[in-house]
Amino acid sequence: MRFLEHSTSIPMPRVYALFQDHDTQQNYIVMERIWGKTLASIWPRMDNNEKEAAASALRSSLEQMRRLKSPGGYCRLGHQGLPDEIFCTADPLKPHAGRFDTESDLNDALIAKYIESGLSKFKADFYSRVFKRVFRDHEPVFTHADFQRKNIMIRNPSNTNHGETQSEISEPKIVIID
């Protein structure tokens, strides 16, 4: 979030502090509170024009992210591995999280994790063949690793009582919180 704050105009909460509890190794972020509703909670009540406006604002944010230069491969900032549960492994000697220098390395790790999870060897063979044809020659881009409606807030800056008003949906202010 701090990287994006200085590299883009994407609306997001201001980060006040980052720290780690040394006893539990748990990381914490202290950030601005965003008053509003999650996109997940109001999406069913939005009409098509409102949904298109929200989608357009989100598309603009994602396009800004994807224009940022890669940190040097298929990885997270600092050229570190990808901290996603899809890469978790019980054996610390067989990490699948990378960092990956090539798209082929990333594809191989996905298939290795699939096999390690005890899933179908036939599907793994199929994925291996298909990934080599489909998932190749793509430049790595910066993106959001957990882009879901629950991680997007809609707020209306003119709404001071923090309650829900009709204008909360009709004039959405998109804020990505995660």
In tens, the pLDDT along 24-72 reads 988 899 999 888 899 999 999 999 999 999 999 999 999 998 898 887 7
Token output for 160: 């001071």
**Which amino acid makes up residue 36?**
G
> For residue 60, what is the DSSP state?
H
CA–CA separation, 140 vs 71, rounded Å?
Answer: 9
- How many CB atoms within 10 Å of residue 142? 19
Of 70-79, 88-97, 152-161, the range with the lowest mean pLDDT is 152-161
pLDDT digits (tens, 9 = 90+) for 122-162: 999 999 999 999 998 888 888 877 789 998 998 764 444 44
Residue of higher predicted confidence among 76 and 95: 76
d(CA 141, CA 160): 38
| Local structure of residue 57 (DSSP, 8 states) | H
Higher pLDDT pick, 89 / 153: 153
Measured between alpha carbons, how far is 147 from 150 in angstroms, rounded to an integer?
A: 8
Query: At 168, is the pLDDT very low, low, confident or very high (cuts 50, 70, 90)?
Result: very low
| Res 94: pLDDT | 62
64: part of which helix (H) or strand (E)?
Answer: helix 48-66
Side by side, the strands of the sheet bearing 173-176 are 37-38, 152-155, 173-176
**How confident is the model at residue 159, as a pLDDT?**
44
Where are the chain's structural domains? 70-140
